[in-house]
Homo-oligomer: A and B are copies of this chain.
């Protein structure tokens, strides 16, 4: 009983003593019950409950060399989009025995590199990262890391390891095509933050219009500031001032779309009669707006959940059927763009 240091909590040795077995057998009874005879297992379980024993995860990690921490690198914590992803992540982690360690790059590639270094020092069990635009150094590092990696939010042909997302270019094309089908020809673009996903949506917008000879750079209003409803008002206001005959807006984010709707209200432009509006992500409020706003639905929650699913499968050495998953998207048409 020379307990010089110690936390005061029961240890595996206490359980072993109480159950009259060796410490290692307790360890096995916890991790691989099938390797321990039924009788001992029951005695050990009883002792565990009586002592209220909880294994010390730090010691487990140190002894086994296996960590139970999944690192998650997201560009933002406040953006609704990533909040939904996080919800999916945490819902899947719940009860899995793994822990999430979140970090936030604020949309900076340098930060991403730095945070990755930091995580690496902690020997994560797996890593989840956002997007497909990592620096060469990061890609190289992750490619030879000995833990599984999943990239989320975008679909692309060459994942570092695993990938789950959808095509922003395609989603934007579908949205713009819809505006064209409803009769718009002078279609504007609103974008903020201009992160890689945003740029791909703009790419889809441009490609779709170019194919029909309708692209006009004067109808693009963009800012590197974060996306917000106020930015939506400011950008759409700027666009209306510069190209007042614009008859539709493809907004690369829902808050921009909502801001555009308000700006139209403030200027007396009718939606959808004078200006049709389409948003992106289909946040809850889109359906409640007046008029309800058309938007591209994306599967953010599922993306977070499935990403963790794939990582855990790989950590536990199960087959992962598909390394690159395309979750797709769906255009939800509402009044803001319906002219039929």
Which residues of A does B touch, CB under 8 Å? 5-7, 54, 56-59, 61-62, 65, 67, 77-78, 80, 83-84, 86-87, 90, 99-104, 121-123, 228-230, 232-233, 255, 258-259, 262-263, 265-266, 284-285, 287-290
Contacts and interface: CB of A to CB of B under 8 A. Distances in A.
Contact of A229 (B7, B230, B266, B288): B288
Nearest to A233: B288
Nearest to A230: B288
B229 A284 contact: yes
Contacts of A233: 288
Contacts of A58: 58, 61-62, 67, 122
Contacts of A67: 58
Q: Which of A54, A57, A102, A290 has the most CB of B within 10 A?
A: A290
Nearest to A89: B77
A86 B80 contact: no
Contacts of A289: 229, 262
A103 B6 CA distance: 27
Contacts of A7: 65, 123
Contacts of A54: 121
Given A7-B123, A101-B99, A62 B62 contact: yes
Contacts of A80: 78, 80, 83
Contact of A90 (B104, B229, B255, B265): B104
A119 to B, nearest CB: 11
A284 B65 contact: no
A284 B102 contact: no
Nearest to A234: B288
Contacts of A104: 87, 90
